[in-house]
Amino acid sequence: MRICDANSLYSDKGGGIRVYHNRKLEYFSEQPRHAAALVIPGKNDSLTCNGNTRVYTLKSVPLFSSGYRMIVDSGGLNSVFLDYRPDIVEIGSPYLLPALTGRALGDSQVPTVGFYHSDFPESYVGPYAEKIFPAKIAVFLKQAAKNHVSKYYGKMTAVFAASRCMLQKLYDSGVRRLFYTPLGVDTERFSPSAATARFRREVGATEGSKLVLYLARLHSEKGLDLLMEAYPLFREPGRIKLVIGGRGPHKGLVQEFAGKYPEVHRLSWQMGRDAVAEAMASSDVFLSLGRYETFGLAGLEAIASGTVPVFPDTGASGEMASSLGLLPAFEAGNPESLADAVIEALKITGRETAEFLRDYAVSRHSWRDVFERIEKYYGMIVDASSNKDIDRLVPPDKWWEQT
């Protein structure tokens, strides 16, 4: 089977989507009966081959200073598909790519899978529209985004989602050929053993103090504004050390915040995954504050590191908090509730909790298990498509509630 992923949300600056695709290429590089390719945006066209895997980079349009680019025409995709001849194509971003991929594939009958990595009607269109436009227009734009999901994902041969709440949203949009595909974690890299006293010294965590880590894109979507509201409510210099790391459009706000609270440490950008793992394992509490997550990979990495996570009660983050069963999720958007959650999380840090968290990650979220599941689903989808019987891919209504 020749598998091809295309994703405009892939960025070499980091993020869970990059981790997913990189680990996927690693997995299929060890499966000689298959070949795997990845199509991503970049500054120029290029092709990198490594055994039975390939990475095609298509010259794409930069999205301001976000570090992301977007594929905007079907010509490059068509050239990739003609060169690679895929048996199945996975589409990882929701905006232009579904239509462009369909145009590039033409009448080839190659089955397509949409992986719902981004809940963009809720995370982007809704919040931005509410800030810029009157209420009626904001509602219209958000509904238009939901209609886009219904139109393009409903046309695909099948759709993957990494959390049950995203399956529910897709179902509510009229999508029916749905597959539950939770993600994994590198438990060798993200481990309590990655913790170092050096990291804690460098960020100014004194002996006996507790280290609370925020490491995400510096944006309100990831809960940064809520953290800055909540911090004065759990602030205790000398006992609680808040460390903020990441890049993003709100770095100026973080600088102002750190100027107001000089005990807050601004972490330099963590370029390597090993550095991220060290930061997570060396912390006592990890703030996974995004309310629109479709899975919450960073939170899972903290769990594998033995670090207590704090999650909001919405989206996939709330789902993971419920599954973990360690601490109740805080009320999304409520700084008092977040502050209370941080205080409660600090009370349960320690060896026993770390062992519980570690066991949760190792026993439930192996990357090998993830891709073996996806590999099996690909086989089912290709077979149903070749036999012109894709309706067999429709599972019983709301089956995920029973899994």
pLDDT along the chain (403 residues), means of 10: 95 84 96 95 94 95 79 94 97 94 94 94 83 84 90 96 94 94 96 96 93 92 94 95 91 92 87 90 97 92 97 95 94 97 96 96 94 96 95 80 58
pLDDT on residue 14:
67
pLDDT on residue 396:
78
Per the CB < 8 A criterion, the answer to whether 345 and 310 are in contact is yes
Grouping H, G, I as helix, E, B as strand and the rest as coil, residue 281 is helix
Check whether residue 215 and residue 333 sit in a common domain: yes
Check whether residue 180 and residue 199 sit in a common domain: no
In a domain, 402, yes or no: no
pLDDT on residue 289:
96
In a domain, 344, yes or no: yes
Check whether residue 20 and residue 96 sit in a common domain: yes
pLDDT on residue 398:
67
Strand partners, 49: 54
Check whether residue 76 and residue 203 sit in a common domain: no
* CA 326, chain centre distance (Å): 22
Check whether residue 304 and residue 348 sit in a common domain: yes
CATH number of the structural domain spanning residue 65: 3.40.50.2000
In a domain, 347, yes or no: yes
pLDDT on residue 131:
81
In a domain, 58, yes or no: yes
Quickly tell me which residue has 């982007």 as its tokens: 124
Check whether residue 300 and residue 274 sit in a common domain: yes
In a domain, 232, yes or no: yes
User: For residue 256, what is the DSSP state?
Assistant: H
Check whether residue 244 and residue 162 sit in a common domain: no
How many folded domains does the chain comprise?
A: 2
Per the CB < 8 A criterion, the answer to whether 306 and 354 are in contact is yes
In a domain, 403, yes or no: no
pLDDT on residue 214:
97
Check whether residue 377 and residue 342 sit in a common domain: no
In a domain, 49, yes or no: yes
pLDDT on residue 330:
97
Grouping H, G, I as helix, E, B as strand and the rest as coil, residue 266 is strand
* CA 372, chain centre distance (Å): 20
Residue-range definition of the domain harbouring residue 245: 192-364
- Residues recorded for the chain: 403
Check whether residue 204 and residue 160 sit in a common domain: no
Per the CB < 8 A criterion, the answer to whether 158 and 381 are in contact is yes
> Cβ of 173: how many Cβ atoms within 10 Å?
19
Q: Which of 226, 191, 220 is nearest to 124 (CA)?
A: 220
- Tell me the C-alpha distance between 285 and 307, whole Å: 6
Check whether residue 173 and residue 89 sit in a common domain: yes
Check whether residue 152 and residue 247 sit in a common domain: no
pLDDT on residue 129:
81
Check whether residue 275 and residue 330 sit in a common domain: yes
> Cβ of 198: how many Cβ atoms within 10 Å?
10
Q: Where are the alpha helices (DSSP H) in 187-334?
A: 197-203, 224-234, 251-260, 273-281, 297-304, 315-324
